[in-house]
Amino acid sequence: MEVPMDPLFLAWSYFRRRKFQLCSDICSKVLEDSPYDQAAWSLKTRAVTEMVYIDEVEVDQEGIAEMTLDESSIAQVARPGTSLRLPGTSHGVGPTPAIRPMTQSGRPITGFVRPSTQSGRPGTMEQAIRTPRTAHTARPVTSASGRFVRLGTASMLTNPEGPFINLSRLNLAKYAQKPNLSRTLFEYIFHHENDVKNALDLAALATENAQFKDWWWKVQLGKCYYRLGLYRESEKQFRSALNQQEMVDVYLYLAKVYQRLDQPITALNLFKQGLDHFPGEVTLLTGIARIHEEMNNITSATEYYKDVLKQDNTHVEAIACIGSNHFYTDQPEIALRFYRRLLQMGVYNCQLYNNLGLCCFYAQQYDMTLSSFERALALVANDEEQADVWYNIGHVAVGIGDLTLAYQCFKLALAFNNDHAEAYNNLAVLELRKGRIEQSKAFLQTAASLAPHMYEPHFNYSTLSDKIGDLQSSYTAALRSEDAFPEHVDTQQILKHLRQHFAVL
Amino acid sequence: MSSAPEMKGNAEINNSKWLDAHYDPVANLYTFSSCIALADLHGDGENKLVVGDLGTGSCNMKLKVYRGTGLMSENTLLDLPTGLVAFLMDQHEPRTPAIAVASGPFIYVYKNLRPYFKFTLPPLDVNALEQDVWNQAREDMIDPLSLKEMLDGIRDKADIPLSVRSLRFLMLDPQDMEAFVNLYKEQPIRRQTVITCISTLKKNMADEDAVSCLVIGTESKDVYILDPEAFTILSKMSLPSAPTQMDVTGQFDVEFRITVACRNGNIYILRRDSQKPKYCIELSSHPVGLVRIGKNVVVGCAQETLQGFTQKGKKLWTVCLPAPVTTMGVMDLPTRGFQAVLVGLANCEVHLYRDKNLVSTIKTPDVVTSICFGRYGREDGTLIMTTKGGGLIVKILKRTAVIDDKDAAPGPPLAQSIRLNVPKKTKLYVDQTMRERENAVAMHRAFQMDLSRLRLAAARAYVKALESSLTPMSSSLSEPLKMNAVVQGLGPSFKLTLNIQNTAACRPVMNLAISFLYDESLYSMRTAFFKIPLLVPGLNYPIDTFVECLSDKGISDIIKVFVLREGKSAPLLTAHINMPVSEGLPLN
């Protein structure tokens, strides 16, 4: 006769093998038989939490409400190099938008997409609520909703017969006294139910029970305060936790608080302090590199990414960022090496082949260029990626002088992504070469309205209007181009020429 | 506000010649250099600042008098002041100057800050034909419509322009004409001009406290010199264009010289004996400021230049300025024998030029719109400026300040010494070029083959996109259209704006309709099909419609928009709109 395995042990085994659904099912059965089995209850909370767990450190996105209704800003004009909000105030060592394209916030595009790199601080409410906020690149209304609603709230969708734990009936004070149950319960409330208020109550009671000596509870309190937007309180909790126990995690949370308070220099100092205790810690080094990158200080960012690679030579983010930096500083052959390394590591997607194709083309390795793009086209997952690949093929076509192909490619890019401002701009230039001024004008206007942060459509519109004699439109367009890229020499020249023209009698 | 301490630091280095006596950023003083004067109004040896405040341009025009840092008195002005001067009109003791404010066709003279006299410009000749026509209208011999026709004819041909009344009449709608004619036909026609600039000229003595005549320039291209006591016209001179700025030197009874900057971009110099200008300076752009230093004339031009001329109109020098000129003033320190030109610039700086040399720069917190230098209170060297934002700045020249004649303009530009950061070619690059050189033929073949394949793939995809009209623009000859869509809103209601433009050169497009395709379980639309109006080429037509999101699960979908042509089954263009996730919940 077969002796069945102890169900709790089996569940534990499933849990360790990350088969959470099975683990949760077995625990449910055990709990049906003996509703007061604390071990099974605790294991089930953990399994259910793990199913929806997302890394709290990495997920961070400022919502529209936090950015546009920000009342805590005192200094409207920050000193150079002390703020993340105005990327223009950095040291000015970054590449110009003529070489490296900019995102809407005025930062050069990065080699690795993170939640905070998708789109920066919008200038106006109008910009904040416009189209780019789609399912892929959405900016939530507040950070309290957004991603957490989409990823975290499992309770609404998965449990048709009602939630596993009814929070409103829970006696939090009772659970807070049981250290073996309270922690799993807290994580369940925080991650699974997303009920920050109850989680905060529980953490407050528990830390009181632990006579304010348990650093773990302080960190959880800090996390709750952070989610609620009480950054100063959360800073206090994290600081106090750090005094008790040095942990990498706590350093990361605290740095996150400082970044949200727009104090990048304090965050950098904190990371360096953390590195004294944990020398060579990859997450801390990455944090430093990211801050430097966001402040437009690409050279130091690259230095730190290199340090990351010394510790962990398979760090995808570091490789991608160094690669893109080499590409945009006119060394595509080195960028090619980095992207090839990513390929060797098993990263196999459309974006990588797209980058490889571009690097090959600019490093004059023509035999591999087009095959890379073909593979990229074969690997596309959605329309936006396809649009980007066609756009880049269009660039190659412009490079080899095949304007018919280029025209088709840019049009295809637009067919797949109707908001591709760069494609509109390039198409306008091609139309202008064909002598179709009205079309060209319409495309440039569309490009300018889709991406007001790009200087190219404004500048092109300015030269176009100048040529056909519409000096007033030319001047206003040149002014907008100057706003987007003040150092652009050609814009300055056209402005100078126009001003002279206007002043002369 | 964090930048404030930094600026003070700069100010201390740059303006060590000046003491910051007073700065009121909210003095609510909007004026230009022509409406500002310093005068000892009460004969107590203390100079006051008299300002003709333009207010908002339509109301709140005031005559303000400042004493020290405070406002001493305020008189309401009826109309916008165009110029303000202080002058001595008689020999009576105590010798207190009167103030003349020019506005419209009038000069209001104030004594002891009380209205004293109002001078009105003589009316201009009325066109005889116009007079005739109105006479006929008065006797009801012609109806308003034929009156309009006749006046139109006179306007086109006559060398004397029409009166304001006739011009106003020509602007009216036919139904209002009758009433207008009945209202005004009994009154005589008058043609009035307005004053554009005002200045003073000593009568017969060169002393500081000698009696002065008023010199006024008018829109009718005339310059009048008025007697200081009787306000009769002593002399009248005419110019080829309307004057805008004026500088006067000399004495009326002996010899004088009036330098006038005119609206046609020329500067004319008038002298005592002649009715017509003696010399003419033709500038390459419009004059913005005019100042006389000794026997030279310094002109600030719209072209961002400062030019110096002799009094006979010979050009001496030209200096390029870093920003457009906003105003100019003269800095005259007779005790030190120092004369220089103050130039207010649009980049918040005031430059001090002595001849063509930049001797000092003052940084101001705002763009300066008026400058006045002279004795204020009991201090001789006081610089008074008002700013674009309505602020008042008072600075005092330090008694120890040394203004040396050396040119303070910087030397060669800094950019010359900056090296370009050109990345070196790496060894890897050299290796790769070696590979390229060795396998040139194979690489070329591979590339050409790939290229042909790619061309085919691109052409196929392109044809597919064209056949199903996937692109957001159509290049067909009959309907060249372009569309892009913008979604606004946080949800569950979204506003969808479609920007449709006809990119043809001259042909309008008609009979178009728009329809939407969407998941009906997820979205609802009030009207999913509607017609769009005729599209005029080159204009952008924004078409709004509203979408409701029905789901509360935080999911989103694509909405497809088709532009259709009547009688055709295939759409002209298609746009795919990636809808944002709805953040709000629908109300039941």
Same domain, B463 and B478: no
The answer to whether residue B479 is domain-embedded is yes
The answer to whether residue B226 is domain-embedded is no
Cβ of B578 within 8 Å of Cβ of A77? The answer is no
Residue A462: what pLDDT?
94
Using 50, 70 and 90 to split pLDDT, how confident is the model at B27? Answer: confident
Q: 0.90 cut: is pTM over it?
A: no
Cβ of A157 within 8 Å of Cβ of B443? The answer is no
Q: How far is CA B3 from its chain centroid?
A: 28
A141 in B contact zone (CB under 8 Å): yes
Which pLDDT tens digit goes with each residue over A157-169?
Answer: 444 455 677 777 7
Cβ of B458 within 8 Å of Cβ of A145? The answer is no
Residues of A in contact with B499 (CB under 8 A): 446, 449
Beta-carbon contacts of A110 under 8 Å, excluding residues fewer than 6 positions away, are: A117, A293, A321, A324
Residue A120: what pLDDT?
44
DSSP string for B97-140 = -EEEEEETTEEEEEETTEEEEEEEPPPBPPPHHHHHHHHHHHTT
Tokens at B588, concatenated = 């039941």
The answer to whether residue A270 is domain-embedded is no
Q: What is the mean pLDDT of residues B243-260?
A: 91
First vs last Cα of chain A: how many Å apart?
109
Which pLDDT tens digit goes with each residue over B140-153?
Answer: 888 888 888 888 88
The answer to whether residue B10 is domain-embedded is no
Q: Is the pLDDT of residue B175 over 50?
A: yes
A31: exposed, middle or buried (C-beta count within 10 Å: 0-12, 13-18, 19+)?
middle
ipTM of the complex: 0.76
Q: What is the mean pLDDT of residues A170-196?
A: 85
Nearest Cα to A130, choosing from A104, A110, A101? Answer: A104
Q: Which of B442, B451, B577 sits opposite A370 (nearest CB)?
A: B451
Q: What is the mean pLDDT of residues B368-374?
A: 93
Distance CA B199, CA B87 (A): 9
B residues 484-523 near A, CB within 8 Å?
484-490, 499, 501, 503-505
B455 in A contact zone (CB under 8 Å): yes
In total, the C-beta contacts within 8 angstroms joining chain A to chain B are: 175
The answer to whether residue A167 is domain-embedded is no
A residues 242-271 near B, CB within 8 Å?
none
Residues of A in contact with B462 (CB under 8 A): 408, 411-412
Q: Which of A126, A329, A415 sits opposite B471 (nearest CB)?
A: A415
Find where tokens 């223009």 sit: A88
Helix (H, G, I), strand (E, B) or coil at B17: coil
Higher model confidence: residue A84 or residue A140?
Answer: A84
The answer to whether residue B148 is domain-embedded is yes
Q: Is the pLDDT of residue B7 over 80?
A: no
Share of chain B above pLDDT 70, in %: 93
Q: Is the pLDDT of residue A152 over 50?
A: no
User: Cα distance from A147 to chain B (closest Cα, Å)?
Assistant: 10
Q: Which one of A457-466, B426-435, B524-533 scores highest in mean pLDDT?
A: A457-466
Q: Is the pLDDT of residue B8 over 70?
A: no
DSSP string for B522-562 = TEEES-SEEEE--B-BT-EEEEEEEEEE---SS---EEEEE
Same domain, B437 and B496: no
**A229 with A223: CB under 8 angstroms?**
no
Q: What is the mean pLDDT of residues A256-271?
A: 89
DSSP string for B309-375 = EETTS-EEEEEE-SS-EEEEEEEEETTTTEEEEEEEETTTEEEEEETTEEEEEEE-SS-EEEEEEEE
The answer to whether residue B189 is domain-embedded is no
Residue B206: what pLDDT?
83
A136 in B contact zone (CB under 8 Å): yes
**B48 with B386: CB under 8 angstroms?**
no
- Pick the residue from chain A with its C-alpha nearest to B495: A130
Mean pLDDT of all residues belonging to chain B = 85
CA torsion A300-A306-A307-A313 (nearest 10°) is 160
Helix (H, G, I), strand (E, B) or coil at B514: strand
Cβ of A370 within 8 Å of Cβ of B583? The answer is no
Q: Which residues are registered as beta bridge partners of B394?
A: B22, B384
Q: In this predicted structure, which of A81-85, A129-133, B407-411 has the lowest mean pLDDT?
A: A129-133
Helix (H, G, I), strand (E, B) or coil at B567: coil
Helix (H) or strand (E) holding A250: helix A248-260
B481 in A contact zone (CB under 8 Å): no
Phi, then psi, of B425 in degrees rounded to 5: -75, 130
Residue A140: what pLDDT?
47
Q: Is the pLDDT of residue A150 over 60?
A: no
Tokens at A163, concatenated = 């939630």
The answer to whether residue A218 is domain-embedded is no
Which pLDDT tens digit goes with each residue over B511-540?
Answer: 889 999 988 888 888 888 888 888 888 888
Q: Is the pLDDT of residue A251 over 90?
A: yes
Same domain, B517 and B437: no
Residue A250: what pLDDT?
92
Greatest CA separation for chain A: 109
Measured over the CA atoms of residue B17, residue B19, residue B22 and residue B26, the dihedral's sign is positive
The answer to whether residue B583 is domain-embedded is no
Nearest Cα to B163, choosing from B136, B197, B128, B138? Answer: B128
Using 50, 70 and 90 to split pLDDT, how confident is the model at A460? Answer: very high
Beta-sheet pairing, B36-39 with B18-24 = unpaired
Q: What is the mean pLDDT of residues B428-448?
A: 88
The answer to whether residue A44 is domain-embedded is yes
DSSP string for A422-480 = HHHHHHHHHHHHTT-HHHHHHHHHHHHHH-TT-SHHHHHHHHHHHHHT-HHHHHHHHHH
Residue A143: what pLDDT?
47
Q: Which residues are registered as beta bridge partners of B228?
A: none
Residue B478: what pLDDT?
74
**Helix axes of A403-416 and B440-467: crossing angle, nearest 10 degrees:** 50
Using 50, 70 and 90 to split pLDDT, how confident is the model at B436? Answer: confident
Higher model confidence: residue A228 or residue A117?
Answer: A228
- Pick the residue from chain B with its C-alpha nearest to A442: B503
CA torsion B238-B241-B246-B247 (nearest 10°) is -60
Q: Is the pLDDT of residue B342 over 90?
A: yes
Q: What is the mean pLDDT of residues A73-80?
A: 53
Distance CA B103, CA B76 (A): 13
Cβ of B482 within 8 Å of Cβ of A442? The answer is yes
Q: In this predicted structure, which of A191-200, A429-438, B435-444 has the lowest mean pLDDT?
A: A191-200
A89 in B contact zone (CB under 8 Å): no
Same domain, B511 and B441: no
Same domain, B482 and B444: no
Phi, then psi, of B393 in degrees rounded to 5: -120, 130
Helix (H, G, I), strand (E, B) or coil at B436: helix
Residue B414: what pLDDT?
61
User: Cα distance from B265 to chain A (closest Cα, Å)?
Assistant: 7
B577 in A contact zone (CB under 8 Å): yes
User: Cα distance from A337 to chain B (closest Cα, Å)?
Assistant: 9
Residue B382: what pLDDT?
92
A residues 383-422 near B, CB within 8 Å?
383, 390, 393, 400, 402, 405, 408-409, 411-412, 414-415, 418-419
Residues of B in contact with A377 (CB under 8 A): 457
Cβ of B285 within 8 Å of Cβ of A504? The answer is yes
The answer to whether residue B435 is domain-embedded is yes
Nearest Cα to B582, choosing from B553, B561, B540, B544? Answer: B553
The answer to whether residue A396 is domain-embedded is no
Residue B587: what pLDDT?
58
- Pick the residue from chain B with its C-alpha nearest to A329: B423
**A307 with A274: CB under 8 angstroms?**
no
Higher model confidence: residue A393 or residue B155?
Answer: A393
Nearest Cα to A480, choosing from A502, A499, A463, A455? Answer: A455
First vs last Cα of chain B: how many Å apart?
48
B318 in A contact zone (CB under 8 Å): no
Share of chain B above pLDDT 90, in %: 27
Phi, then psi, of B90 in degrees rounded to 5: -150, 180
Q: Count other Cβ atoms within 10 Å, centred on residue B157.
A: 8
Using 50, 70 and 90 to split pLDDT, how confident is the model at B508? Answer: confident
Nearest Cα to A354, choosing from A380, A383, A376, A321? Answer: A376
Q: Is the pLDDT of residue A294 over 50?
A: yes
Distance CA A80, CA B445 (A): 53
Show the domain range for B452: 427-467
Same domain, B525 and B539: yes
Using 50, 70 and 90 to split pLDDT, how confident is the model at A116? Answer: low
Mean pLDDT of all residues belonging to chain A = 81
The answer to whether residue A23 is domain-embedded is yes
Same domain, B506 and B563: yes
Using 50, 70 and 90 to split pLDDT, how confident is the model at B395? Answer: very high
- For chain A, what is the domain count? 1
The answer to whether residue A152 is domain-embedded is no
Nearest Cα to A56, choosing from A264, A253, A271? Answer: A253
Show the domain range for A36: 1-52
User: Cα distance from B173 to chain A (closest Cα, Å)?
Assistant: 33
CATH of the domain at B564: 2.60.40.1230
The answer to whether residue B539 is domain-embedded is yes
- Pick the residue from chain A with its C-alpha nearest to B501: A442
Distance CA A203, CA A218 (A): 8
Q: What is the mean pLDDT of residues A348-374?
A: 88
Which pLDDT tens digit goes with each residue over A12-47?
Answer: 999 999 999 899 889 988 888 888 888 888 898 899
Using 50, 70 and 90 to split pLDDT, how confident is the model at B2? Answer: very low
Same domain, B490 and B435: no
**A395 with A372: CB under 8 angstroms?**
no
Which pLDDT tens digit goes with each residue over B39-52?
Answer: 988 888 889 999 99
Nearest Cα to A136, choosing from A383, A321, A409, A338? Answer: A383
- Pick the residue from chain B with its C-alpha nearest to A360: B432
A residues 39-58 near B, CB within 8 Å?
none
Distance CA A21, CA A3 (A): 24
Query: At which of B467, B498, B521 does a domain end?
Result: B467
Residue B229: what pLDDT?
86
**A369 with A361: CB under 8 angstroms?**
yes
**Helix axes of A248-260 and A282-294: crossing angle, nearest 10 degrees:** 10
Same domain, B572 and B478: yes
Query: At which of B467, B491, B525 does a domain end?
Result: B467
Eight-state DSSP code of residue B509? B
Tokens at A46, concatenated = 């953990």
Using 50, 70 and 90 to split pLDDT, how confident is the model at B493? Answer: confident
Using 50, 70 and 90 to split pLDDT, how confident is the model at A406? Answer: very high
The answer to whether residue A13 is domain-embedded is yes
- For chain B, what is the domain count? 3
Which pLDDT tens digit goes with each residue over B63-104?
Answer: 999 998 888 899 898 889 999 999 988 888 788 899 999 998
User: Cα distance from A133 to chain B (closest Cα, Å)?
Assistant: 5
Using 50, 70 and 90 to split pLDDT, how confident is the model at A67? Answer: low
Which pLDDT tens digit goes with each residue over B103-154?
Answer: 988 999 998 888 988 999 888 888 888 888 888 888 888 888 888 888 888 8
Which pLDDT tens digit goes with each residue over A336-347?
Answer: 899 999 899 888
